Structure 1
Amino acid sequence: MFTFPELLLLLLSCLVTIKYLKVIWATRSLPPGPIPLPFIGNLWTLRFKLHPETLRKLAGSYGPIYTVWLGETPLVVLNGCKAVRDGIVSNSEALSGRPVASFLKDLLGEKGILMANGHTWKQQRRFGLMTLRKLGLGKKILESQIQEEAECVVERFTAMKGEPFDPSFLLIHAVVNIISAVVYGHRFSADDVTFQELIRCNNCVLEILGSKWARMYDAFPWLMKHIPGPHQDSFQHLKYVTEYTKREIEMHKKNRSEEPRDIIDYYFDEIEKNRKDTDSTFDDDEYLISVITDLFGAGSETTATSLLWSLLYMVAYPNIQRKVQKELDTVLDGNQICYEDRKHLPYTNAVIHEIQRYGNIAAVGIPRTCIKDCKVCNYSLKKDTMVLANVDSALSDPQYWKLPNQFNPQNFLDSDGNFLMNEAFMPFSAGSRVCLGEQLARSELFIFFSTIMRSFSLQLPEGVTEVNTEYIYNMTLQPHPYKICAVTR
């Protein structure tokens, strides 16, 4: 006879064995990959992170499409430009879903754009695209705001009088003011306590999203929901952003204008327009809060981080900086820089694209799910299979880039010095889930970078001889904190 503890241990052993055998059986219908361990799957192999370098190494062993297990959940990984494009471009609609159980899903909910699915996602995304255009995306209206913020950056850099300073806060302030004008209808002053707290909360959320706590949550949501840790802090950080947004919405309701000024005003109009439509998702403030949270979070830190990389690379490669400045001086007059100027500045345009390629901030991207059975890279994937298109691997694919492992603008130039686009360039992802703010980010990067380069020579502080271009792995890949000297030209 078994004692009760022995019987309990036997039952648990049987349960673990049965569940593990189910996992092993499921691997038969999936692309190959490392053998999963009981309970934790391949989390140990991944070091509890979806790190681009780890994923590239696994691709070397298992090919351009393979499977890793986050606990008992399989994740099919696509590596290299061909596999990535086959997944998110050729099968764009089939791979347009988001995971129904993940840390990001629980954090952001399913009412916005980033993590929503199906009808909700389609309606909210369509609204976002249309409203951004109405607010001036691609037109002089929004471009003038970007130009004004760029000039503010120039003023703040000039005030440093060539002394060493950390440019991160100044760039974040400028970029956030642009997305703030879009969603809230106003900008923040640099010393605004609310602004500083919004930025801090947003950064904390991004840091945790890239941590092992988030991967543990993805693997064991039923467990991690009840375990204390930094992942729990994310919900409080995000709550600060949503509470601020709620106050903004109430202020807009009290001060409605005849002409819509921002996303909030346009959303109010959409609610009124669809009030009798029973199929509409424009029915309460919760959807609006989610849309704003998605746009504010995605449209602030990401562009600012790309700009931080851009300045760091110009200090690291002074010869490239001088070539950019020579082209700007030769081609441009004294007027404000416009996005259209990029057509006459092939070298500068190539440098900006190379910054996004080599200093890719999005790392591996956000997982998607199959909304129906489909075939990717000759493998049949069933509905609800989770897929990760490793965008980083496309941006460094040696089959598509002249110099994949070097920072070199020649990757985007032909033999005559003309700008040359590459199909492997997907820093904003691709397909139906391509970044909603891609056009806005492109405009910001070009205008900010070109304005700064035309105004200053960027140098290392006296006594500093080396530039650290290694990245910090969070939800986005960020440069280590640094200081520069901006000498007025």
Structure 2
Amino acid sequence: MWLYSAVLGIVLLCLIFIALKKGNAKDQRLLPPGPQPLPLIGNILQMRPDKLLVTLQKFQKKYGPIFTVYFGTRRTVILCGYDIIKEALIDQKYAFSGRGKMALSEYVLKGYGITASNGERWQQMRRFALTTLRNFGMGKRTIEERIQEEAKILVKEFGKTEGKPFNPTFLVSCAVSNIICFIAFGKHFNYNDEKYLKLLYNINGIIRFLNSGLSALLYNFVWIMPYLIGPLKKGAQYLSELKEFVDERVEESQRTLDPNSPRHFIDCFLIRMQEEKDNPDTEFHMKNLVASASNLLFAGTETISTTVRYGLLILIKYPEVQVKVQNEIDQVIGQHTPSAEDRTKMPYTEAVIHEIQRFANIIPTGLPHCTTEDTFLRDYLIPKGTDVFPLLTTVLKDPEQFPDPDVFFPNRFLDKNGDLKKHSALLPFSTGKRICPGESLARMELFLFFTTLLQKFTLTTTVPREDLDLTPELSSAGHLPRAYKMCVIPRNGTLLSKSSN
């Protein structure tokens, strides 16, 4: 009996799918080309979840810079290359300003916060975050001093290795995460704090889950989220525990809040909540606070720490680049503490950081966008509500924009006079209305961490440099560098861990 019911159910679903397909026949003819989807499962059989990025790039070669795929029954348009991504995200920035489906975030954070929200909620949360980051972070001397202090702590921790090989992942993550923790809730954590270590464990777990085949499966079938079990539930657990960490910080802030003297992002949000408590339509409530702070914490930790780790590996692989950066540091900074204003006088160092971001390509798929209205792109109709993935890897590795894109070559960002030149296709933070709100903060962090470390150390390894593999360990929603061990040799000839004690 159950088998008969199951077969009947499948037949009915197929008939519904066919009817919907016929009902949208006109739209289907105007859509960008793509592989033929199957009922219910779409193109899942043609896209290995653990090789998603590779599959999409194969489709690019077959169908061109714009094509359509189906994740289950969900239509998704893929954009490849700088030109078409610019046409969509910049030239038609409002039409492509929606956020596409993000199953894990929507399941745990329920559509609140900055990253996965849309409409008026997204506009208000983003505007508030930008204002607060500007007041407590970006462009402020206080946050620059905080980064400088954290970089010095990282130097001290590196020095404790006494020239022996070590994996920098943990120490770099601690240092970087402490910056966004300072902005979000005014705290600095010791690197052995158990709650802090648990936070970093969960952040790392989230990024690895998002890069797994399991995550791709969830994107195909969002409706199974409430029924997750076993490994599939692990991703939701990581994000839920991160949210619980933020909940605790919010409770602490509520107990010690002084409305006349806000200390950090959470304080500012709590004050705004109080100001709008009589507004029944306000977006300033506890759910948006916790979700927004969680968004900042995750994004402000993982992307920068991954870029730093990738950058250190690249500098070890290419010691001649490292020497040139150190020469510029010696000439411009000397033994003084590196500062943000040094950036304008150090074009080669800035070019190296730009090339690290381009080469590392840590968010290759970009985050999903969504059309807010019916729109045409290169004569193709993209209906309202269609998910759109701008594949950032096809911009950062676009040979028309960056000749020999698989070669690490910082000089591509320098003009004939050795001055830094801007490149419109350098989009590690994406572009358009959904560009990363923490871009300027991230650039400051990268500059201060790299210059402080290279001022004090020469980076090396016991492994033959030709054996250092720069291809990512994971390659799907994000690129993570392969695990490696490095050695740091103090440039002043003494072990900093001893001289600082």
Distance 1:8 1:156, change over 3 A: closer
**Displacement of 1:91 after TM fit?**
1.5
AA matched with 1:16:
C
Mapped contact 1:107–1:234 kept (Cα < 8 A): no
**How far apart, CA to CA, are the structure 2 residues paired with 1:210 and 1:367?**
15
**Displacement of 1:98 after TM fit?**
1.7
**How far apart, CA to CA, are the structure 1 residues paired with 2:3 and 2:243?**
48
Distance 1:267 1:95, change over 3 A: same
**How far apart, CA to CA, are the structure 2 residues paired with 1:129 and 1:318?**
38
**Displacement of 1:8 after TM fit?**
6.6
Q: Percent identity between the aligned chains?
A: 34
**Displacement of 1:48 after TM fit?**
1.9
2:478 to 472, 476, 479: 476
AA matched with 2:150:
E
AA matched with 2:246:
T
Mapped contact 2:347–2:419 kept (Cα < 8 A): yes
2:266 to 264, 269, 281: 264
- 1:275 and 2:277 matched: yes
SS at match of 2:203: helix
Residue pairs, 1:4-153, within 5 angstroms: 9=7, 12-13=10-11, 15-16=13-14, 18-20=16-18, 22-23=20-21, 25=25, 27-48=28-49, 51-99=52-100, 102-153=103-154
Q: CA RMSD in A?
A: 2.1
7-16 or 271-280, which deviates more: 7-16
Gaps of 5+ in 1: none
AA matched with 2:182:
A
**Displacement of 1:222 after TM fit?**
2.2
CA-to-aligned-CA distance 1:24-70 (integer Å, 9 cap, x gap): 84632310011123332112222125743332221111011001110
Partner of 2:250: 249
Partner of 1:288: 289
TM norm structure 2: 0.92
AA matched with 2:355:
E
Partner of 1:164: 165
Residue pairs, 1:427-442, within 5 angstroms: 427-442=428-443
Residue pairs, 1:227-376, within 5 angstroms: 227-257=228-258, 258-282=260-284, 284-376=285-377
Distance 1:464 1:399, change over 3 A: closer
**Displacement of 1:101 after TM fit?**
6.9
AA matched with 2:241:
Y
Distance 1:4 1:308, change over 3 A: closer
**How far apart, CA to CA, are the structure 1 residues paired with 2:250 and 2:324?**
47
Distance 1:170 1:13, change over 3 A: same
Residue pairs, 1:381-400, within 5 angstroms: 381-400=382-401
Distance 1:424 1:277, change over 3 A: same
Distance 1:222 1:402, change over 3 A: closer
**How far apart, CA to CA, are the structure 2 residues paired with 1:173 and 1:35?**
46
AA matched with 2:160:
A
**Displacement of 1:23 after TM fit?**
4.4
**Displacement of 1:103 after TM fit?**
3.5
SS at match of 1:388: strand
Mapped contact 1:104–1:209 kept (Cα < 8 A): no
TM norm structure 1: 0.94
Mapped contact 1:20–1:39 kept (Cα < 8 A): no
Distance 1:462 1:81, change over 3 A: closer
183-192 or 241-250, which deviates more: 241-250
**How far apart, CA to CA, are the structure 1 residues paired with 2:301 and 2:153?**
17
Mapped contact 1:31–1:379 kept (Cα < 8 A): yes
**Displacement of 1:437 after TM fit?**
1.0
**How far apart, CA to CA, are the structure 2 residues paired with 1:161 and 1:102?**
45
221-230 or 200-209, which deviates more: 221-230
Mapped contact 1:302–1:476 kept (Cα < 8 A): no
Partner of 2:187: 186
**Displacement of 1:273 after TM fit?**
2.2
Q: Report the count of equivalent residues.
A: 486
Partner of 1:458: 459
345-354 or 474-483, which deviates more: 474-483
**Displacement of 1:126 after TM fit?**
0.7
**Displacement of 1:74 after TM fit?**
1.0
Distance 1:249 1:12, change over 3 A: closer
Mapped contact 2:98–2:118 kept (Cα < 8 A): yes
Partner of 2:494: none
**Displacement of 1:237 after TM fit?**
1.9
SS at match of 1:44: helix
SS at match of 1:300: helix
Distance 1:156 1:15, change over 3 A: closer
Partner of 1:413: 414
**How far apart, CA to CA, are the structure 2 residues paired with 1:451 and 1:464?**
23
Distance 1:417 1:265, change over 3 A: same
